Structure 1
Amino acid sequence: MTNLGPERRTTDRRPSQGAEVLESGVRYRTWCEHDRVDVLIMDDARQVLRTVPLEPEGDGYFSGLDHGGRAGELYRYRLGETGDWPDPASRSQPQGVHGPSMVVDPKTFRWTDTSWQAPAYRDLIIYELHVGTFTEAGKFRSAIEKLAYLVELGVNAIEIMPVADFPGERNWGYDGVALYAPSRAYGTPDDFRALVDAAHAQRLAVILDVVYNHLGPDGNYLGCYHKGYFNAAHETPWGAGLNYEQAAVRDFFSENARYWMREFHIDGFRLDATHAMLDDSEQHILAEIAERVHAAGGFVIAEDDRNDPTLLRASDAGGFGFDGCWSDDFHHTVRVMLTKQREGYYANFEGTPRELADTLAHGWHYRGQPRLTSGKARGAESIDLGPEQFVYCISNHDQVGNRAFGERLGHVIDAPAYRAASALICLVPYTPMLFQGQEWCASTPFQFFTDHNQELGRLVTEGRRKEFKNFAAFADPEQRERIPDPQALTTFRNSKLRWDELRSEAHAQMLLLYQEFLGLRATHAALQNRSRDAWMVTELGDGIVALLYGEQGEFTVAVLVDLIGGHEMPNIDDARIAPGGGRDWRQILSSNEVRFGGSGETFSVPTTLVLEAV
């Protein structure tokens, strides 16, 4: 087990690996198990211009100073007699992940965000986007053109799917292998800095999705440097786990978030599949990452399927100190309610108004109950956690892209139901997150796409189709052949947003709904206090759930939610929802208003209705 002292954990030291531009030249440092390391300085044709030998420091580290080195030079490390490889801590891979690394000087970029202060975590409204499909050009700089639109929409944070460089020209980002290098498919490192700088100028926080549980299957050269990067005792879905118990490996990953903060001004992070980050150290790697990010003023959000409150509890209470966690239970309950589909993991959810009310009341639905499919207990009580710690959504990249054809929620349910669910996500007391294009019910899918080499690509295509063989719709092999080929360029192209859709009335009306409901969230005084004692949830019967802001007998705002429809308006004088104080309810917003594309009816079709006490 590691025993890392607090000073070593919290200080923002010089990076343990990589190429660093100094006044005296370029300093190189890497960790490997070989007896000799040389830096090969190359030209664009990969011809060696000069060789810089590195000296051993001990503990597997080698370092040296190239007095003639400068930013922009290409290099690879030659490890003993085994060959030469890209730098695992490369800041840029201009010729792809298999090519030479590039020396980058982050100090040459001229930042304009010196007065920037991120919104309080509790006030975040997150917009998840994929750089390659967010705009037609699919670049860091083209995304800048849409930032003002996002502000008008009503969000205050963008969550960017992983940008660590990956093999090929297109990828979701979870096959990244160069964890310190923004993908050249989207632009240069300075292009990424320009996007962050422009976002801050628009008062948008930037959350970066990072993957610390595995590296992709092509271009991962860690094993060429040191077999100690991996721990065979830790089994993960990708094979042997990363060896966080080894100090050098631990530093390589725990320093990464601070690197993005220091050199790219990232405000916070979403960590992919933290349940697969296995670590037997005295301080878990997740707790160390959270500690380092917090020390620099950032925040961390987990994707974790365990519903484990330990992630979210403070370190002094025995937790890992994460600020938030994706709460898939809400998504799954809503999805089952709206679609009645219960295959795969949806089989663990019934999609009833009672289940929705229970989830809204606690943050998670599963809090120690046995799963319906396996009988195994999942989760633990969450009522003591702050509502802002649960990130809610009705769409995200997984829940859209992991469907066979990448259909969005709005593609498979009718418009009133989509409007009602959309209005609800804007007003939950938890942290809401939107996925790119959902705010106008984009017609484009978000499909699974890759650009691997021919052999690996063939396996990925076969594996993708095999995933669905146990689903009734794809039991027939011929039906599985219809599933889009991840390797096909058309699969990627079909996933790009079509911004011209906003000129159509139906899409513009949906966008207006999001603007109005997010605007209400941001401006109505009663919705500003979302602490546990400032709201409550009750199931009224007849399929309607009430989210009440205020105290019992003194409610100020009522959000009445019917995701099924076919019901009558509930009795608003019901003692359970009465505003008290001799006041009455008046309607201020409805998801079924004509201006949003609705009929004006309430509850005969799915509806989210907002009432205010007067």
Structure 2
Amino acid sequence: MRIGACYLGNGNCEFTVWSPTLKEVAVQIVAPEQRLIPMQQDEEGYWKVKASGIEPGTLYFYKLEGNKDRPDPASKFQPQGVHGPSQVIDTNTFAWDDTNWSGIPLDETIIYELHVGTFTPEGTFEAMIPRLSTLRDLGINAIEIMPIAQFPGERNWGYDGVYLFAAQDSYGGPAGFKKLVNACHQHGISVILDVVYNHLGPEGNYLSEFGPYFTSKYHGHWGDALNLDDKYSDGVRNFCLENALFWLREYHVDALRLDAIQGIYDLGAKHFLEELAELVDEFSQANGRKCYITAESDLNDVRVIRPKEVGGCGIDAQWNDDFHHALHTLLTGENDRYYQDFGKIEQLEKSFREGFVYSGQYAPHRKRRYGSNSKEEPGYRFIVFSQTHDQIGNRVLAERLSKLVSLEGLKLAAGAVFLSPFIPFLFMGEEYGEEAPFFYFVSHSDQDLIEAIRKSKEEEFKVFAGRGEMQDPQSPDTFHKCQLNWEQRKEGKHKILWEFYQQLLQLRRTIPALRKLDKKSLEVSSVESDKILFLRRWNDDSQIFCIMNFNDKDVAFTPPAPSGNWQKMLDSADTKWMGSGSTLPDKLTLDKELTIKPQSLALYEIAG
């Protein structure tokens, strides 16, 4: 059921809000002139009224029990912030130019995660548009936008959103977001939107005053969980499901990324994720374009990504943190926090071969057995990366990989991600070695909440004692330090790295063996003592062979590749890429010992 203010045209608007336990709800119009419109409740707890004399731009609250004015839980625009009135908008007036747009197939997707507020100096949707051509030239065909649901103030990662249907006003609101999506499609770029159904932020969150939107049945990491399986849960499920369809339908978004699904609690007969996947499939079929759902998951549970026909939830793909952790520890040598479970080259080898590293064995950091076997799951079910907003921002100094490893390490990390049989993902600025941090930042107005967040972060960062001073999440300076230095991509080592990424992406697109995300057509092996990994992939007559050296020393090896005319396509040690000079031949000679430079990779393709 559609909820919120639905403008019908000709000054008519239908208001619908779910409040099953309240005795009185009315629409309180506050501008252009004050007016109170009573509502009627149906048997499922929805209060409704169809009103005339309501034009787009009208500001309103819902008056609860005759004495409390609250914004619409399904508000489509909050022009005065999370505590102000909601605004009626006409969602059908935008002139879309993407009629022929059919999206990018998931297995061809190259994902670029970005945060609207720090991607440009202006921090708006429209300010991003001039940069789309640069992303396209790099080889990006999908941007993943961190949450834009209305949050308090102007600075936030987005996971404190409290109006899930409202595009953030300081980013440019609904009109700005539609312009961005439209422009993306004109550039051949899909839009993935990060959405949050495991919790809502604290400030401006009035949902519990409308009804039992939350449950204390579960102890969620971020507070009370959304009520998806307890009494009155039907209305909450509809709230979230309708929100997902809303972004696909009204904003032409191509895919949704679900935040931390381990915090979505549902013990009902049909899990929320399964129902969501079914509805998105139905929407895709009805609209003639495939829309996708991806998920962040800390479960290592293949049921998340398996089709519902074999007992899965039907989510199209999920983030694979195991790949990141295995790669990060080899590059940096870090062994604290969850990194203590990683550090061996054989773990990265397993991730290349299967997906999950932890597939049921004991994980020291978790103090339990963890994960399920992902060997049979296709490569396009996994999204892999060397950096994300989380992996950067959840460090006391919020260092990107560019501050932790050398240029050689950055090139090696990129090669591991883009030559894998999985969907590659990069975080904004990674492609040119951006060195600005990505701290956690907020702009709340509640002083008690601000202090609570500071103390929470201080506690979280105790594990980094002695490594640096925590930045104040509330300070504008903390936010400004995170803005990209976009022009760096044109100079020095940054330009070299950008071109290296571009070359990797071009090879991925043009070599059939790399383009097909098939773990069955793959061989991978490693030598633990040398920290060297060998990867071979093929697709019909196309074959590639890659050597990755994670050692900080030269490594001698004998190529374990089959016979053939192997021609070198890329070598990160070449002086072209600011390397010290390659020691590997242009044509691979089998049964002969060769030497590869420290922290470098070389890619060979078999010539036809």
Short-chain TM bin = over 0.9
Q: Give the alignment's TM-score, normalised by structure 1.
A: 0.92
Pair 1:376 & 2:368 matched:
yes
Which structure 2 residues correspond to residues 272-351 of structure 1 after superposition, within 5 A?
Answer: 272-297=259-284, 298-349=291-342, 351=343
- Which of 394, 407, 418 aligns to 2:410? It is 418
Cα contact 2:549–2:597 (8 A) shared by 1: no
Per the TM alignment, residue 472 of structure 1 is displaced from its structure 2 partner at its CA by 4.2
Per the TM alignment, residue 363 of structure 1 is displaced from its structure 2 partner at its CA by 0.6
Pair 1:250 & 2:243 matched:
no
Pair 1:548 & 2:536 matched:
yes
SS state of the match for residue 99, structure 1? coil
Cα contact 1:21–1:103 (8 A) shared by 2: no
- Aligned match of 1:229: 213
Separation in 1 of the partners of 2:67 and 2:259? 33
- Pairwise CA RMSD of aligned residues? 1.6
- Aligned match of 2:393: 401
Separation in 2 of the partners of 1:168 and 1:143? 20
SS state of the match for residue 461, structure 1? helix
Separation in 1 of the partners of 2:395 and 2:145? 21
Q: Kindly report structure 1 stretches of 4+ aligned residues shifted beyond 6 Å.
A: none
SS state of the match for residue 216, structure 2? strand
Separation in 2 of the partners of 1:21 and 1:188? 20
- Aligned match of 1:3: none
Cα contact 2:396–2:464 (8 A) shared by 1: no
- Aligned match of 2:519: 532
Cα contact 1:420–1:592 (8 A) shared by 2: no
Cα contact 1:439–1:514 (8 A) shared by 2: yes
CA deviation string 1:223-265 (max 9, x = no partner): 1111x21121122112222111211111000111100011000
SS state of the match for residue 439, structure 2? coil
Cα contact 2:3–2:15 (8 A) shared by 1: no
- Which of 465, 471, 488 aligns to 1:484? It is 471
% same residue? 37
- Aligned match of 1:70: 55
1:80 partner letter: E
Stretches of structure 1 that go unaligned for 5 or more consecutive residues are: 1-13
Per the TM alignment, residue 536 of structure 1 is displaced from its structure 2 partner at its CA by 1.8
Separation in 1 of the partners of 2:5 and 2:394? 35
Per the TM alignment, residue 194 of structure 1 is displaced from its structure 2 partner at its CA by 0.5
Separation in 1 of the partners of 2:146 and 2:497? 24
Per the TM alignment, residue 325 of structure 1 is displaced from its structure 2 partner at its CA by 0.5
1:147 partner letter: L
Separation in 2 of the partners of 1:565 and 1:500? 31
Per the TM alignment, residue 20 of structure 1 is displaced from its structure 2 partner at its CA by 3.4
Which structure 2 residues correspond to residues 10-29 of structure 1 after superposition, within 5 A?
Answer: 14-23=1-10, 25-29=12-16
1:559 partner letter: C
1:389 partner letter: R
- Aligned match of 1:446: 438
Per the TM alignment, residue 82 of structure 1 is displaced from its structure 2 partner at its CA by 4.0
- Return 163-172 or 50-59, whichever deviates more: 50-59
Per the TM alignment, residue 347 of structure 1 is displaced from its structure 2 partner at its CA by 1.3
- Which of 206, 219, 229 aligns to 2:204? It is 219
- Which of 176, 182, 186 aligns to 1:191? It is 176
- Aligned match of 2:586: none
- Aligned match of 1:43: 31
- Aligned match of 1:473: 466
- Aligned match of 1:123: 108
Per the TM alignment, residue 551 of structure 1 is displaced from its structure 2 partner at its CA by 7.8
Separation in 1 of the partners of 2:246 and 2:81? 21
Per the TM alignment, residue 570 of structure 1 is displaced from its structure 2 partner at its CA by 2.4
Separation in 2 of the partners of 1:145 and 1:107? 25
CA deviation string 1:18-51 (max 9, x = no partner): 443344601101111221111111137xxx6211
SS state of the match for residue 239, structure 1? coil
Separation in 1 of the partners of 2:271 and 2:600? 45
1:587 partner letter: K
CA deviation string 1:112-135 (max 9, x = no partner): 000001111111110000000011
2:420 partner letter: V
CA 1:250–1:107: 2 relative to 1, 3 Å: same
Cα contact 2:454–2:473 (8 A) shared by 1: yes
Cα contact 1:17–1:31 (8 A) shared by 2: no
Pair 1:268 & 2:260 matched:
no
- Which of 84, 87, 93 aligns to 2:78? It is 93
Pair 1:608 & 2:601 matched:
yes
Separation in 2 of the partners of 1:74 and 1:465? 40
Cα contact 2:323–2:384 (8 A) shared by 1: yes
CA deviation string 1:384-430 (max 9, x = no partner): 11101110000000001111111101111112111111122111110
Separation in 2 of the partners of 1:18 and 1:222? 16
2:296 partner letter: E
Separation in 1 of the partners of 2:93 and 2:264? 35
Cα contact 1:590–1:610 (8 A) shared by 2: yes
Cα contact 1:56–1:63 (8 A) shared by 2: yes
Separation in 2 of the partners of 1:126 and 1:551? 23
2:308 partner letter: S
Separation in 1 of the partners of 2:427 and 2:494? 15
- Which of 133, 154, 162 aligns to 1:169? It is 154
SS state of the match for residue 485, structure 1? coil
Cα contact 2:3–2:74 (8 A) shared by 1: no
SS state of the match for residue 60, structure 2? strand
- Which of 497, 501, 504 aligns to 1:517? It is 504
Separation in 2 of the partners of 1:487 and 1:302? 29
- Return 263-272 or 416-425, whichever deviates more: 416-425
Separation in 2 of the partners of 1:394 and 1:548? 21
Separation in 2 of the partners of 1:331 and 1:101? 41
CA 1:555–1:105: 2 relative to 1, 3 Å: closer
SS state of the match for residue 467, structure 1? helix
Per the TM alignment, residue 188 of structure 1 is displaced from its structure 2 partner at its CA by 2.2
Q: Give the alignment's TM-score, normalised by structure 2.
A: 0.93
SS state of the match for residue 337, structure 1? helix
Cα contact 2:415–2:601 (8 A) shared by 1: yes
- Return 309-318 or 17-26, whichever deviates more: 17-26
CA deviation string 1:490-534 (max 9, x = no partner): 111010001121232211000000000111000112222222222
1:36 partner letter: E
- Count the aligned residue pairs: 583
- Aligned match of 1:10: none
CA 1:544–1:470: 2 relative to 1, 3 Å: closer
Separation in 2 of the partners of 1:509 and 1:251? 49
Stretches of structure 2 that go unaligned for 5 or more consecutive residues are: 285-290, 584-595
Cα contact 1:587–1:610 (8 A) shared by 2: yes
Cα contact 1:21–1:104 (8 A) shared by 2: no
SS state of the match for residue 158, structure 1? strand
1:270 partner letter: R
SS state of the match for residue 561, structure 1? strand
Cα contact 1:449–1:492 (8 A) shared by 2: yes
- Which of 341, 359, 366 aligns to 1:367? It is 359
Separation in 1 of the partners of 2:509 and 2:392? 27
Separation in 2 of the partners of 1:312 and 1:204? 24
- Aligned match of 2:573: 592
Separation in 2 of the partners of 1:273 and 1:549? 32
1:394 partner letter: S
2:605 partner letter: E
Separation in 2 of the partners of 1:389 and 1:439? 23
- Aligned match of 2:456: 463
SS state of the match for residue 170, structure 2? coil
